[in-house]
């Protein structure tokens, strides 16, 4: 009878262990995938190594190693690990290179490439063991907890606007090779923009972009504008910006 009790205790312990492992795997799997939470118009996705595209609808799963694109008069919202919101404007393409993947130094890494179009991101605050970056063909932005907008033109010229939080953006392949510099605030006079601090001779640069600041990068990867922007700017009163601000309020 004593042996039977030991056997029952052993089986119960084994069952508990299996359950905990299963729950842990489920959490890890959930953290390594995203979900399309909204589609207006037409959107598709494909695996980066494949040619075929598939239609994307609400509740479609997205994973690392996939590309998502929206078409004319269309937009989509992705939710990553139930924390972060990524929204795509019409005619926007992003590559989800990594999605909360574990690195060799046991960090969780998310990396995206905005190939073209306009992207809005509302990213929750990240711990020290997590990295989150959104890149363009000519620059990379490291994010810790931010609301931002990023756009890429046909010639790869890029623009980053930070609405809340702080972002480090650089054209250097390795951020450790440069020292990030803060954008110096200044007054804009008149109806046009006056270029801010510019280092045209610097091959590699890194800037700390804070709330209500923006950086414009030309097709050669050099900063052509850095400074403040205002909510009253004409570019901030578009349907795209208003829609995103409304969605962010709903998700609070």
Residues 6+ apart with CB under 8 A from 131: 103, 107, 108, 109, 110, 111, 142
Question: pLDDT-based confidence at 23, cuts 50/70/90?
Answer: very low
User: What does the pLDDT look like over 32-89, one tens digit per residue?
Assistant: 579 999 999 999 999 999 999 999 999 999 999 999 999 999 999 999 987 799 999 9
Average pLDDT of span 182-204: 56
What pLDDT shows up at residue 27? 38
What pLDDT shows up at residue 128? 85
Query: What's the rounded Cα separation, in Å, for the pair 126 and 167?
Result: 12
| The total number of residues written for the chain in this structure | 252
pLDDT at 201 over 80: no
Q: Which fold has domain 32-186+193-250?
A: Jelly Rolls (2.60.120)
Query: What's the rounded Cα separation, in Å, for the pair 106 and 64?
Result: 17
**Burial (Cβ within 10 Å: 0-12, 13-18, ≥19) of residue 37:** middle
């Amino acid at each position: 009878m004593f042996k039977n009790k030991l056997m029952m205790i052993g089986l119960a312990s084994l069952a508990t262990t299996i359950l905990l492992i299963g729950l842990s795997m489920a959490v890890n799997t959930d953290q390594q995938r995203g979900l399309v939470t909204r589609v207006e118009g037409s959107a598709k996705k494909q695996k980066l190594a494949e040619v075929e595209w598939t239609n994307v609808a609400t509740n479609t799963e997205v994973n690392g190693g996939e590309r998502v694109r929206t078409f004319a008069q269309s937009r989509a919202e992705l939710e990553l690990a139930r924390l972060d919101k990524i929204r795509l404007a019409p005619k926007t393409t992003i590559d989800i290179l990594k999605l909360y993947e574990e690195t060799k130094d046991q960090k969780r890494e998310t990396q995206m490439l905005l190939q073209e179009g306009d992207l809005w991101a509302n990213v929750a605050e990240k711990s020290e063991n997590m990295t989150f970056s959104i890149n363009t063909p000519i620059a990379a932005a490291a994010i810790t907890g931010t609301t931002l907008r990023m756009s890429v033109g046909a010639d790869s010229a890029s623009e980053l606007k930070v609405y809340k939080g702080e972002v480090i953006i650089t054209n250097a392949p390795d951020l450790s090779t440069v020292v990030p510099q803060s954008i110096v605030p200044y007054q804009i006079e008149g109806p046009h923009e006056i270029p801010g601090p510019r280092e045209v001779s610097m091959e590699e640069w890194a800037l700390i972009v804070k709330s209500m600041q923006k950086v414009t990068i030309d097709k050669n990867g050099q900063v052509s504008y850095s400074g403040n922007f205002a909510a009253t700017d004409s570019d901030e009163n578009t349907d795209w910006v208003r829609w995103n601000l409304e969605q962010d309020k709903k998700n609070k």
